[in-house]
Amino acid sequence: MSGGDTFLSVRDIWKTYAIPHGGGSRPVLRGLDFCLERGEMAGLVGESGSGKSTLARLLLGLEPPDSGTVLLEGQPLRQWRARGGRLSVVFQDYMTSVNPGFTLAEVVDEGLGPGCRLSRRERRREVDRLLERVGLSPLLSGRLPHELSGGQVQRACIARALAVQPQVLLMDEPTSALDPISTSKIEELATNLKEQYTIIIVTHNMQQALRISDKTAFFLLGELIEYDDTQTLFYQPKEKRTEDYITGRFG
Ligand code: ADP
Ligand code: MG
């Protein structure tokens, strides 16, 4: 695939939602601009309700923006997808994103999809490889979600997301429902996956972005307040509102 230097470019995105019962409308994203190079990890940080998941849905192509464009490798999202571009997602709520009756292997296998050309045996081997890629033993492959820890189920969701060989991995609050140990393991995994994928991680936790992401975008009420290298944003924020969020003076 060809394209400019910038891998992902989000340009002047606006999104407005109607408020129910004739309450008018409200902009949820207000002129967002940011870009990301291949192989980088960006943290999208902001309080609840700041528009992070809305941006994630737009990036996934699940809904269109009112105006503005998302370019991947210089092409509009739809065109990029039509040419084989793939973007995978991992959600916060891992338990509702897996079928409770599926074994670990079936959860991951689902990601390979019905059109997969592999033989049954190759498919099984690929599932094992994906499980190992996310640090899960194939010995666990017969277990059901409720027989696993939250961190293990979330890893299976990541393995399922990797099954399509995405160029971009988008994780929306992947550790918000996890304990600290599982969280640090997922962070370690994300750091490791960065060698192979371009990653966007949505989080309300600035410390998490500081630990793992190369770049960080700070959102407030649908506005991108500041976007910079994570270290610069964290230690030398240019905006008072970013500094207030970092030092916990919000809310
Ligand atoms: P975040 O992920 O940062 O918590 P969201 O993107 O989920 O924020 O939501 C941003 C704002 O948009 C919230 O105020 C939310 O209530 C509103 N919102 C999100 N989705 C919809 C929708 N489909 N219809 C109306 N309002 C929505
Ligand atoms: Mg959200």
Tokens, residue 185: 């393991």
- Judge if the beta carbon of residue 25 lies within 6 A of ligand 1: no
Helix (H, G, I), strand (E, B) or coil at 237: coil
- Judge if the beta carbon of residue 50 lies within 6 A of ligand 1: yes
- What is the phi/psi pair of residue 73, to 5°? 50, 40
Q: Which atom of ligand 1 is nearest to the CA of 18?
A: 25
Give the orientation angle of helix 104-112 with respect to helix 120-133, to 10 degrees: 110
- Residue bearing the CA closest to ligand 1, atom 16: 49
Do 65 and 15 touch, CB atoms closer than 8 A?
Answer: yes
**How far, in whole angstroms, is CA 87 from its chain's centroid?**
9
Give residue 249's pLDDT. Answer: 61
* 51 CA from centroid of ligand 2 (Å): 7
Residue type, 121: R
d(CA 15, CA 162): 29
Top mutation candidate among 15, 17, 205 for ligand 1, by most atoms within 8 Å of CB: 17
- Judge if the beta carbon of residue 17 lies within 6 A of ligand 1: yes
Top mutation candidate among 14, 28, 50, 57 for ligand 1, by most atoms within 8 Å of CB: 28
- Least Cα distance to 156 among 145, 165, 166, 147 occurs for 145
Place of tokens 């033989």: 119
Residue 204 neighbours by CB distance under 10 Å: 18
Q: Which strands sit side by side in the sheet containing 168-172, from one edge to the other? A: 87-90, 168-172, 198-203, 41-46, 215-220, 223-229
d(CA 38, CA 8): 8
Do 54 and 134 touch, CB atoms closer than 8 A?
Answer: no
- Judge if the beta carbon of residue 29 lies within 6 A of ligand 1: no
Top mutation candidate among 54, 93, 202 for ligand 1, by most atoms within 8 Å of CB: 54
Q: How far apart are the first and last CA of the chain?
A: 45
Alpha helices in 4-69 (DSSP H): 52-60
Give residue 115's pLDDT. Answer: 81
Per-residue pLDDT of the chain (251 residues; tens, 9 = 90+): 444 578 999 999 999 998 888 888 889 999 999 999 999 999 999 988 999 999 999 998 899 999 999 999 999 999 999 999 999 999 999 999 999 999 999 999 999 988 888 999 999 999 999 999 999 999 999 999 999 999 999 999 999 999 999 999 999 999 999 999 999 999 999 999 998 999 999 998 989 999 999 999 999 999 999 999 999 999 999 999 999 998 886 54
d(CA 116, CA 229): 39
CA torsion sign, 10 to 11 to 12 to 17?
negative
**How far, in whole angstroms, is CA 12 from its chain's centroid?**
20
